[in-house]
Amino acid sequence: MVLLFTRNSLVLKSSKKTILTVTFPFLNSLIYCTEFRFLTISYDKRVIVLANFTINNHHHMIQIKDLHKSYQMGNNSLHVLKGINFNVKEGEMVSIMGSSGSGKSTLLNILGILDEADSGSYILDGVSIKNLNEKVAANYRNKFLGFIFQSFNLINYKSALDNVAMPLYYQGVKRKERIEKAEYYLEKVGLSAWSHHLPNELSGGQKQRVAIARALASNPKVLLADEPTGALDSKTSQEVMELIQGINDEGKTILMVTHEHDIAQMTKRIVHIKDGLIIDDNPVEQVRASLYV
């Protein structure tokens, strides 16, 4: 039930939350309310009161139920994910840990709609990700998800700048604006001076930062990072983590795979995977990366 007050009079009473989301999209995260509470906020000089709702301004961005994935190799089948269950709320920052080969990348690829699960459900922002048509999938990859690959995956004949601008090309952004935005994000990762270098003229850490800038350029809601600090020394790692924390501060949901405990401590929640199952899922006291620098 949604009750909407303006200047102390009830203007809207609805059992459908969609009315609010459509009228005031910025309230999107406010709708997923669970407790009885009053909220008074100011919007456009009017006062809107949401009544009878508890504000829990984190709705589930990612919901995974009983996810299975096997790899087929000839006659052998390798069962990698054996029933993963977990939810991630909007604005969370989660690290996924586990030994090598435990299926972390496999899981992240499925979350990034780069791969498909064999069974189980994956709901992204309220939409079931199953048998999506190519157009919808492309749209999600383009605008909603940012992916940072373990192996960077930069286009080797394009400069750092053009690599960063690539997702914007597929968003239909005009060339001039594309370049401007890409420059902005390259600066954010501290690579302005390298913008015209090809990937093979960059160090591993620099490539990683180009990949981060590219993932950020499309301004995604969810950032998926597969060992974003894997190729970096500890100092650069702190810098990159500071960057990622900053992005999280802006409200973006972040999932990252890491092997390093001190890096995991910089997130807000650690999920442990072993033999294709989540064995441990705990919140952590976030350590700000800026403390190290």
Pick the closer one to another protein by CB: 166 or 254.
166
**The one segment of 16-24, 95-103, 186-194, 248-256 that binds ligand ATP by CB under 6 A:** 95-103
Distance separating alpha carbons of residues 222 and 143, to the nearest angstrom: 9
**Shortest gap between Cβ of 8 and ligand ATP (angstroms)?**
56
224 phi/psi in degrees, rounded to 5: -110, 125
Q: Which of residues 138-177 bind another protein (CB under 8 A)?
A: 138-139, 141-143, 147, 149, 153-155, 157-158, 162, 166-167, 169-171, 174-175
On whether the CB atoms of residues 238 and 289 are closer than 8 A, the answer is yes
User: In angstroms, what is the minimal distance from the CB of 199 to another protein?
Assistant: 11
- The tokens for 127 are 């939409």
167 binds, among another protein, Mg ion, ligand ATP, none (CB under 5 to 8 A by kind): another protein
Query: Do 41 and 31 meet the contact criterion of CB atoms below 8 Å apart?
Result: no
Rg over CA atoms, the chain: 21
Q: Is 157 a residue that touches ligand ATP (CB under 6 A)?
A: no
Distances (CA, A) of 130 to 65, 106, 124, 193, 284: 13, 16, 10, 42, 32
Binding residue for another protein, selected from 35, 44, 134, 285, defined by CB under 8 A: 134
Query: To which residue do tokens 């009750």 refer?
Result: 3
Asked if residue 103 binds ligand ATP (CB under 6 A), the reply is yes
- Within residues 104-163, the interface with Mg ion by CB under 5 A covers 105
Ranges of H-type helices in 47-129: 104-111
- The residue assigned the tokens 């496999």 is 106
Contact region with another protein (CB under 8 A), list: 6-14, 18-26, 113-121, 267-275? 113-121
Binding test (CB under 6 A) with ligand ATP, winner from 30, 88, 94, 104: 104
Do residues 256 and 98 lie in contact, with contact meaning Cβ atoms separated by under 8 Å? no
Return residues touching ligand ATP (CB under 6 A). Answer: 71, 73, 78, 80, 98, 100-106
